[in-house]
Structure 1
Amino acid sequence: MASNTETAGHKQEYHIGYKEDTLKAFELRNVKTCLGYLLPTLEALPPTFSLLDVGCGPGSITFDLARRFPQAKIIGVDIGTEVIARNNANIPTAAPGTGIEFRAGNILEPESFLSAEEISSGFDVVHEHTTLICIPNNIEVLRQMKRLAKQDGGIVACREGDTHSQVLWPPCPESAELQERIYKLNGLDTQTGRKLVSKALEVGFPRDQITASASVLSNITRPERELYGGSMLTMLADENSQYRKAAAQFGYTEEQVEVLRKNMERFIASDDAWRLLICTEVICKLDEVGR
């Protein structure tokens, strides 16, 4: 899940939204499914390390990190005030006795959610998962993440999707077309994943300080398909959702919207259905050379 933000004085709304079905779909994400590339690095750190999770959404990854590393200081930030309130209310049951907290704020304005001392001292790890792809001009977000990492040994870690790599079976070309048009409407780069190393270089990380890898985000089992497809059906049913508003703006008829619904219903029901998305990953280390 990703946070939305403001660029050039314009508030950019999160195009998927924060409805309960959507949050439940994102809760499929945890350390095992999404942070395999980063887990060995975290395990090698002192147990009291600090981590900032940028665009934490419903906090499923953040909570899992806190349970695995209960002595660590872990802060999840998202611009969605309601989802942050939901996460904080869930701490006593989801991660009791850990060093986790959630704050509402804009990553491009760190003073909106961090103290001056936290900003100056920096974090051992600044992490994001599929947040950059949801923010226009996301190079500025990555640059800010670099600033918030400790300048002597800090780590910036990213895992990003690339929607051009997405595979759905049975095929849903109409759904893929609308998704692409919505991303473009919001000024988002659907090829952020394949550009991740390039972006890390652009913000100043030397290539020998960047460890790159890739993995697949998937929805294969019936429960996984129900959560993903169900969240899409909820957005299609809500005329006030960003998806329905965009479809109306593009001139979609009710018959075309019905095709989108049937696509998701077939995706959920088909025993041979799956959704695959290539995700790229980078671990960028800061030292005297990489400042």
Structure 2
Amino acid sequence: MSSKSETATYTHGHHASVVRSHSWRTASNSIGFLLPHLKPHMKILDIGCGPGTITVDVASYVPQGHITGLERAGGVLTQARALAQEKGVTNIDFVEGDANDLSYEDGTFDVVFCHQVLQHVGDPVGMLEEMKRVTKSGGIVAAREADYGVFSWYPELPGLKTWQDLYDRVARKNGGEPNAGRVLHAWAKKAGFKDPKCSCTVWCYADKGDTKWWSESWVDRALYSSFATTALENGIATQEELKSVSDTWREWGKHEDAWISLPSAEIVCFTE
């Protein structure tokens, strides 16, 4: 085991606006690239499971197997466990832990994956190595990571470019890599995977309900989430600047032609 602990700070935190946004995620809209590789008997570990919506979904793909959701912020697991109970899912458990130092023996799982996690950690290569350690020979390590630098939107309100720049500075101050998508495959190679299978998918919000939901999330996150706290405490932005960003997201969400694309890179790595 690695005997390491996380050095970076999670940029988004777990404000209600963040958890609400993450609760939209499902297996099909977030890890569709991995689903064809799953078999009914598999034992799976979901790293950084958050409110557990992806984890609970994946359980249905392994009815004779089991999935464990691991999360550093133990408080959000109450919601994850409640969701599993509500859905009647029993081949699942949730545990609090640090993925830099997993409390599992070598080769415990058939599949270990994470979704939008490596961009927020201090040593993504080391975390991939730890994920590899607890995966069986012939198993799978997979990840999906956004690339904030290539997000695009319409209309091109100046305040959204300000938000993008602020996000980059806050994420880097926290010790993360906001453009993780473009280097994800290279991280995998450094972690010892010889031939990571690469792909890219995009969340695109163009429907009025979707753009309203996304904009309202950032209206609050710009002011009240850990993103705002880090920006203020480190002099990256003033309260007035954050208010301006929040107002811009509100304005964008009200535009009849609002559109945004959020690309993420994906890797599937087979262990030897």
| TM-score w.r.t. length of structure 1 | 0.85
Deviation of 1:216 after TM superposition, in Å, equals 0.8
Aligned to 1:55: 48
Q: Which moved more, 1:75-84 or 1:263-272?
A: 263-272
Letter aligned with residue 146 of structure 2: G
- Structure 2: distance between partners of 1:211 and 1:252: 39
After superposition, residues 238-277 of structure 1 pair within 5 angstroms as 238=224, 241-247=226-232, 249-250=234-235, 252-277=237-262
Aligned to 1:227: 213
Change (3 A) 1:204 1:252: closer
Q: Is the 8 A contact 1:72 1:98 kept in 2?
A: no
3-state SS, counterpart of residue 124 of structure 1: strand
Q: Is the 8 A contact 1:55 1:128 kept in 2?
A: yes
- Count of aligned pairs between the two proteins: 266
Aligned to 1:159: 144
1:257-289 C-alpha deviation (Å, 9 max, x unpaired): 2320221102221121122122111111112xx
Structure 1: stretches of 5+ with no match in the other structure: none
1:70-121 C-alpha deviation (Å, 9 max, x unpaired): 3321001010111112211222113x1431111111011212xx4xxxx244
Residue 191 (structure 2) pairs with residue 199 (structure 1) = no
Structure 1: which 4+ aligned runs deviate by more than 4 Å?
none
Aligned to 1:25: 21
- When the two chains are superposed, the root-mean-square deviation of aligned CA atoms in Å is 2.0
Letter aligned with residue 162 of structure 1: D
Residue 87 (structure 2) pairs with residue 99 (structure 1) = no
| TM-score w.r.t. length of structure 2 | 0.90
Letter aligned with residue 54 of structure 1: I
2:111 aligned residue (106, 122, 125): 125
Deviation of 1:254 after TM superposition, in Å, equals 4.0
1:219-248 C-alpha deviation (Å, 9 max, x unpaired): 33333333332222223333x744144135
Structure 2: stretches of 5+ with no match in the other structure: none
Change (3 A) 1:236 1:97: closer
Residue 88 (structure 2) pairs with residue 88 (structure 1) = no
- Structure 2: distance between partners of 1:97 and 1:184: 38
Aligned to 1:170: 155
Deviation of 1:157 after TM superposition, in Å, equals 0.8
Q: Is the 8 A contact 1:21 1:227 kept in 2?
A: no
2:197 aligned residue (206, 211, 216): 211
Letter aligned with residue 219 of structure 1: Y
